[in-house]
Chains A and B, each alone.
Chain A
């Protein structure tokens, strides 16, 4: 493309000055960026309010698109479903029959649990989610993994609340606006969730890797007991995440743990539930108030 003539300042002092000041303004902009970066990297939440206000402002657009997005996902699944319809139908029918039996058994166990807990006098607390909502946006071009949900302080959402789908854990609330909140996804590399293997309770940490998979780090070192297909659930250690919410499934073993896939892919989840912050229940007071005071943290250390 041809260069534009009007950008040559020549001998005009006025034009020279305006070119000079334009550069000065650009450099000043870069310096403002450096200053803002220094503030935000030093760990301050100085810009959290600004960001919440901005996500509140953009929430209507995001909500409108979110409705359409789940619709379009449905179309793809419907078309894909035609290819293996018959075999899948047979398999699902078989699995459903098994699952029904298991469900009845699980109901029995849940009832027994409730009875035993009542016997021990453990306070259950309110277990219903605070709010059901949609995910409206995600930081799809940054290596940090954040998402925005369409519920905020108006709906009772508070910082730290876990966010999940019916399938599994997605993340936790980081910043709350009035009608929208920012969620730190568990695939973010700064997110650490205390977990355990669903079958035998081997303790581990689940840390994000930034690319949709997570790293499972075992707390006990030694022979790696994990296998492909193992499912990890939250352990509830240190509070925050309620125990027994599914997180991820192991797909590849490493030397000191494994790499796992998140069970509930945020891309495929339509609605999410925001749970209450879970706190480790204080053990009931010992009947004979003996010497040793009960330690409040029943689990491992908080990450």
Chain B
């Protein structure tokens, strides 16, 4: 998932590698900001009358966790879930709970299956995304809604098909995160 062609835009920066190190601020903040952007920004682009967009924030979180298992701390589900709950329209707390749970499950999977290929990562991702979407539906219905499960099927399919693409995007941002731009003196 992470083997990528060197982006042409970054060539100039990458040439100067000697005496350079990644910026600490960039390296540590990009994963958080990307997940938060995934929770917030897609909601601006479509005013929809049905749940059509995949839960991008969650997809990006899962992708980061699979790409760099130790990068986001285990408790990252709490603050990122709070942020997602503020904008997602779900009952407050659903993101906190489900995202924290997802972090634990992904960690267990990572320990059980340390050597993973693309298919296994997609399969694990698909399973956890499906569980998440259905759990969100259950929580929303517990909070007063009465939506049938048929409504989330398109969203489920789109989310699972889109997940590898989100993984590639996260990998590009991982390269961006580790750009050697800090000068060592």
Residues of A within 8 A of B (CB): 1-4, 6-7, 22-23, 25-30, 32-41, 46-47, 50-51, 54-55, 58, 61-62, 65-66, 69, 135-147, 185, 187-190, 209-212, 262, 265-267, 269
Known: A36-B96, A58-B40, A187-B50. A141 touches B56 (CB 8 A): yes
A143 to chain B, nearest CB (A): 4
Q: Are B98 and A33 in contact (CB under 8 A)?
A: yes
Name which of A4, A29, A58 has the most chain B CB atoms within 10 A of its CB.
Answer: A29
Q: What 8 A-B pairs come out closest when comparing CB atoms?
A: A139-B89, A33-B97, A36-B93, A33-B96, A37-B93, A210-B147, A3-B114, A29-B78
Q: Give the residues in chain B near A35, CB-CB below 8 Å.
A: 93
A57 to chain B, nearest CB (A): 9
Known: A29-B96, A40-B93. A143 touches B49 (CB 8 A): no
Find residues 96-116 in chain B having any chain A CB closer than 8 Å to their own CB: 96-101, 103-104, 107, 110, 114-116
Q: Are A29 and B77 in contact (CB under 8 A)?
A: yes
Chain A residue, CB-CB nearest to B143:
A41
B163 to chain A, nearest CB (A): 14
Q: Give the residues in chain B near A188, CB-CB below 8 Å.
A: 145
Contact of B92 among A27, A47, A55 (CB under 8 A): A47
Contacts A3-B115, A190-B146, A212-B50 known; 6 new A-B pairs at CB < 8 A: A26-B100, A29-B96, A37-B93, A141-B88, A188-B145, A211-B50
Q: Are B136 and A34 in contact (CB under 8 A)?
A: no
Considering the chains assembled together, what is the distance between the CA atoms of A142 and B31 in angstroms? 23
Q: Are B42 and A141 in contact (CB under 8 A)?
A: yes
Find residues 51-66 in chain B having any chain A CB closer than 8 Å to their own CB: 51-56, 66
Chain A residue, CB-CB nearest to B1:
A1
